[in-house]
Amino acid sequence: MVKQKKTGLKLRDKKQAVTLEGTSRGAGLKFAIVVARFNEFVTQQLESGALEALAAAGVTAEDVCVVKVPGAFEIPFAARQAAERGRFAAVICLGCLIRGATAHFEYIASAASQGIMDASLATGVPMTFGVLTTNSREEAMERAVPGPENKGWEAAVAAVEMATLDVRGAMGATGAMVRVRKGTEKRKLNVSAQRSGRAGRGAAAKGAAKRNGVSGPHERSGRAGRGAPARKK
Ligand code: INI
């Protein structure tokens, strides 16, 4: 096995699996945070957690746009618009649903989660799910404490990782994996994958990779949170 100094990429031989993953470094990337105002005493804290996590990842305030919506039900619409109209590397979705006496909670929770996933897949922009679905105010507040236990923080960390993960860029035109030559830093990069990628993302991810000291979107490793203790759902 050859460990490359510059990239940290571990090269074994052609027959071994290649691991692709994003990083915890978001410098130079733009992020949207869509926050529901409903249960604002919690969602405000989720927003603060997300902003702190982005700052810790090297994202500057001017690269972050916060979009406020009335409730969790409206998140997918705004997230999709942000993804379509903005140059965001990822969209962080934050909200808080607290179970009540009626089925209202279930309808909104399923519309929000499915809607966010649909918006992400339709636009090709990663969206992360920081929407709490709890049985009580107490459960919600426990998940909105300052620091990495905060679900907004967690959603922001996931957004940075997904924004810096470029699986498509690492694949060949026919879907074959990029060939890694043992013992060298040469990669057969597939330009058509970047050309056909969603607007700006390939270029944004590549630029961030350079700034982050790695040489290509498929050569990243060492995301934050690996090996972290089990978290609350
Ligand atoms: N929206 C939430 O974000 N959380 C809730 O707990 C909630 N409850 O319980 O009703 C909620 N409702 C509002 C909903 O998201 C829409 O904003 C509203 O239905 C208007 O479309």
Using the atom order of ligand 1, give the atom closest to the CA of residue 95: 3
At a CB cut-off of 8 Å and minimum separation 6, what does 121 contact? none
Rounded Cα gap, residues 17 and 11, in angstroms: 10
CATH number assigned to the domain comprising residue 155: 3.40.50.960
Lowest mean pLDDT among 56-65, 83-92, 110-119, 183-192: 183-192
Lowest mean pLDDT among 25-34, 108-117, 171-180: 171-180
Q: Is 201 a domain residue? A: no
Q: Is 3 a domain residue? A: no
- Given a cut of 70, whether residue 173 has pLDDT beyond it is no
Q: Which domain holds residue 125?
A: 31-163
- Determine the residue of 73, 93, 99, 151 to mutate for testing ligand 1's pocket, defined as the one with the most ligand atoms within 8 A of the Cβ atom: 73
- 102: Cβ below 6 Å to ligand 1? no
Beta strands in 37-120 (DSSP E): 64-69, 90-98
Q: Is 184 a domain residue? A: no
Rounded Cα gap, residues 231 and 220, in angstroms: 24
CA of 61 to the centre of ligand 1 (A): 28
For residues 112 and 72, is the Cβ–Cβ distance under 8 A? Answer: yes
pLDDT band of 172, cuts 50, 70, 90: low
- N-to-C CA span, the chain: 38
For residues 155 and 93, is the Cβ–Cβ distance under 8 A? Answer: yes
Rounded Cα gap, residues 223 and 154, in angstroms: 13
Rounded Cα gap, residues 8 and 56, in angstroms: 22
pLDDT tens digits for range 115-139 = 999 999 999 999 999 999 999 999 9
- Determine the residue of 47, 108, 141 to mutate for testing ligand 1's pocket, defined as the one with the most ligand atoms within 8 A of the Cβ atom: 108
At a CB cut-off of 8 Å and minimum separation 6, what does 208 contact? 25, 26, 27, 28, 29, 89, 163, 164
Number of domains composing the chain: 1
Q: Is 122 a domain residue? A: yes
Q: Which one, of 31, 64, 18, 24, lies nearest residue 169 by Cα?
A: 18
Quote the tokens at residue 233.
């759902």
Q: Is 67 a domain residue? A: yes
Number of Cβ atoms within 10 Å of the Cβ of 6: 10
Q: Is 202 a domain residue? A: no
Q: Is 138 a domain residue? A: yes
- 97: Cβ below 6 Å to ligand 1? yes
Which amino acids are annotated catalytic? 104
Q: Is 131 a domain residue? A: yes
- 38: Cβ below 6 Å to ligand 1? yes
